[in-house]
Amino acid sequence: MQVSMNINGEPVTADIEARKLLVHFIREDAGLRGTHWGCDTSNCGTCTVWVDGEAVKSCTVLAAQADGHEVRTVEGLEGADGLDPVQQGFIECHGLQCGFCTPGMLMTARWFLDRNPSPTKDEIREAISGQICRCTGYKNIVDAIHWAAEHPRTNEVTA
Amino acid sequence: MQTPAPTDYVRATSVSHAISLLEEHGEESRILAGGHSLLPMMKLRIARPEMLIDINELDELRGIRVDGDELVLGAMVTHREVLESPVLFEHYAIFRECEKVIADPLVRNRGTVGGSMCQADPSEDLSAVGSALRGSVVIQGASGTRTVPLREFHEGPYETQVEPAEIMTEVRFPIRPGAGSAYEKVERRVGDWPVCSAGVYVVVSDGLVTDCGIGLTAVSAEHFCAPAAEAFLIGKAPTEDNLRSAAQLAADAADPSSDQRGPADYKKHLANELTYRALVRAAAASQGA
């Protein structure tokens, strides 16, 4: 079946099997490898992207379901003014070691901060409770998101 | 790599269109709601539908509203919408307390009330809430709609009264002025299925319990409820002794199995203790404490 969607503002069209998961469409058909494909079971959250402004686990959404919708991936975080504060926060606070979980952490963090701009650290921990990091113990990730909360973004949201 | 078996996909444009698609494609077709139960089952090839009928675009199945003396949730209301709904919280704290411990924020963005109810997992948290509050569901088919009490809805694990060419469209809950409600859950780790959960509402008037509902999940309580415990409490003061006795009766309604989530006697203990804790908080809330 033919599927078309906007990813980070760019139209992407491909002829795919109906069973194809959104994460594989993003990586294989759109060629955007920033979104990682992890546990395959909706647990780890590294495949998190936005569909119509809502953070979702793209291993548990069919690409067909995103047909005609707006998708935003980690590649769409950086704006004309440079890195999004959540990206900068992960640099400032050393919010990653191997980096595998990072794209999902970043997309969830930005979605969360847009809805709750001044969270407590407990609220940040709850917000990322659907993301798994096997390196850091989460402390630096929570610090990074907290850093971002104190540095509001200036970039326009693309989707 | 987990990939669903080959399937076809079609988007429904209305509830009646979805029903006609179900009739056209027969028992090998499935409604695709939030997809957070069905797609994992398809990846494991436990489910192999030949046709997916996507109802995500149907606005008629969305929205939370008050209709007379009932709260009405469209089948496609997401878990996050339930969690954040001021009107649901105003009437029943149990909705927020329960949703806060269902899965994680991203799953709650996508998973739906109707999908959870129709999946009918024997450990579903919302099923305990629905039975505790004596909710009902509206089911639509080609010949019209029917309303089924949630305490008659489940026919067994993963089996409900929804027929192959029918769709659940709404879940309805009676509003009870003065009711207090609470939800208690024990899980192995954040966001997991419960080892056991208990959800209750209590109405206390002039120092006596005049109305109550007790729901249990993950412990094989018939229809996710504990009627003997409810009957015991009616007309009694919500004292520690009475609430303890009711909690013991609730545990008697549980018939859990030992599995990876814990031994049966531990789950019985949880059914008792969690019911007690929920009753204490709900009774206090009803009395304005």
Tens-place pLDDT, residues A133-148: 999 889 999 999 999 9
For residue B133, give how far its alpha carbon lies from the nearest alpha carbon of chain A (Å): 28
Cβ contact, residue pair A61, B35, below 8 Å:
yes
Q: Do A108 and B8 touch (CB under 8 A)?
A: no
| Cβ within 8 Å, pair A21-B3 | yes
Residue B223 has, within 13 A of its CA and on its CB side, a CA count of: 18
A45 vs B: CB within 8 A:
yes
Average pLDDT over chain A, rounded to whole? Answer: 95
pLDDT of B244-289, one tens digit each? 999 999 999 999 999 999 999 999 999 999 999 999 999 999 999 6
Mean pLDDT of B23-45: 96
CA distances from A73 to A30, A128, A154, B213 (A): 11, 17, 18, 45
Q: Mean pLDDT in chain B?
A: 97
Please name the residue of chain B whose CA is at the shortest distance from the CA of residue A61: B35
B189 touches chain A (CB under 8 A): no
Q: Is the pLDDT of residue A158 over 70?
A: no
Are A60 and B35 within 8 A, CB to CB?
yes
What tokens were used for A95?
């919010």
Under 8 Å between Cβ of B209 and B203: yes
Residue ranges of the alpha helices (H) in chain A?
22-24, 85-92, 102-115, 121-127, 139-149
CB contact under 8 A, A45 and B39: no
Residues carrying CATH 3.30.390.50, chain B: 179-286
State CA B273 to chain mean position distance.
Answer: 21
Mean pLDDT of A14-24: 98
**Average pLDDT for B40-52:** 96
> CA B82 to CA A55: how far, in whole Å?
17
Q: Strand B51-54 to strand B8-11: parallel, antiparallel, or no bridges (unpaired)? A: parallel
Domain with CATH 3.30.465.10 in chain B: 59-174
Beta bridge partners of B195: none
Tell me how far apart the alpha carbons of residues A106 and B203 are, in angstroms, rounded to a whole number: 45
Q: Under CATH, which number does the domain B8-54 receive?
A: 3.30.43.10
Which structural domains are found in chain A, ordered by start? 2-74 (3.10.20.30), 85-149 (1.10.150.120)
Q: Mean pLDDT throughout B80-96?
A: 98
Contact A34, A103 (CB under 8 A): yes
Residue range(s) occupied by CATH 3.30.43.10 in chain B = 8-54
The DSSP bridge partners found for residue B146 are: B139
Q: What is the CATH number of domain B59-174?
A: 3.30.465.10
pLDDT digits (tens, 9 = 90+) for A89-136: 999 999 999 999 999 999 999 999 999 999 999 999 999 999 999 998
Q: What is the pLDDT of residue A3?
A: 98
Cα separation, A124 vs A121, whole angstroms: 5
Give the closest residue to A130 by CA, choosing from B106, B12, B205, B17.
Answer: B106
Q: Name the residue in chain A with its Cα closest to that of B110.
A: A56
Superfamily per CATH, domain B179-286: CO dehydrogenase flavoprotein, C-terminal domain (3.30.390.50)
- Residue written as tokens 């909360």? A149
Q: Does B32 touch chain A (CB under 8 A)?
A: yes
User: Which among B156, B162, B79, B168 is positioned nearest to B122, based on CA atoms?
Assistant: B156
Picking from B285, B259, B253, the residue whose alpha carbon sits closest to that of residue B272 is B253
Residue A130, chain B, CB below 8 Å: the answer is yes
B30 CA: distance to closest CA in chain A (Å): 14
Query: Tell me: the pLDDT tens digits for B179-198?
Result: 999 999 999 998 999 999 99
Buried b (16+ CB within 10 A) or exposed e, A33-67: ebbbbbebebbbbbbbbbbeeebbbbbbbbbbbbb
> What's the number of CA atoms in the CB half-sphere (13 Å) around residue B183?
27
Chain A closest CA to B247's CA: distance in Å?
Answer: 31
Q: Say how far apart CA B42 and CA B6 lie, in whole Å.
A: 10
Residues on chain A touching B2 (C-beta within 8 angstroms): 40-41
Q: What is the pLDDT of residue A156?
A: 60
Paired tokens of B283: 């009774």
Residue B224 backbone class (left: φ over 0; alpha: ψ -120 to 50; beta: rest): left
Other Cβ atoms within 10 Å of B148 Cβ, number: 15
Q: Is B36 on the interface with A (CB under 8 A)?
A: yes
**Average pLDDT of the residues in B198-211:** 98
Residues of B175-191 as b/e, b for ≥16 C-beta within 10 angstroms?
bbeebbbbbbbbbeeeb
Please name the member of B4, B9, B107 whose beta carbon is closest to the beta carbon of A130.
B107
Burial class (CB in 10 A: 0-12, 13-18, 19+), A76: buried
pLDDT at B289: 67
Contact B104 A112 (CB under 8 A): no
Output the pLDDT for position A157.
Answer: 57
Position A159 confidence tier, pLDDT thresholds 50, 70, 90: very low
Percent of chain A with pLDDT over 90: 92
Question: Is residue B157 over pLDDT 60?
Answer: yes
In the three-class reduction of DSSP (H, G, I as helix; E, B as strand; rest coil), residue B31 is classed as: strand
**What confidence category does residue A155 fall into, taking pLDDT thresholds of 50, 70 and 90?**
low
Closest Cβ opposite residue B104 in set A18, A41, A129: A129
Is residue A71 a contact partner of residue A50, using CB atoms and an 8 Å limit?
yes
pLDDT classification of A152: cutoffs 50, 70, 90: confident
Amino acid B37: pLDDT: 95
| CA atoms A57, A59, A61, A63: torsion sign | positive
Closest CA to B98 of B64, B67, B69, B130: B130
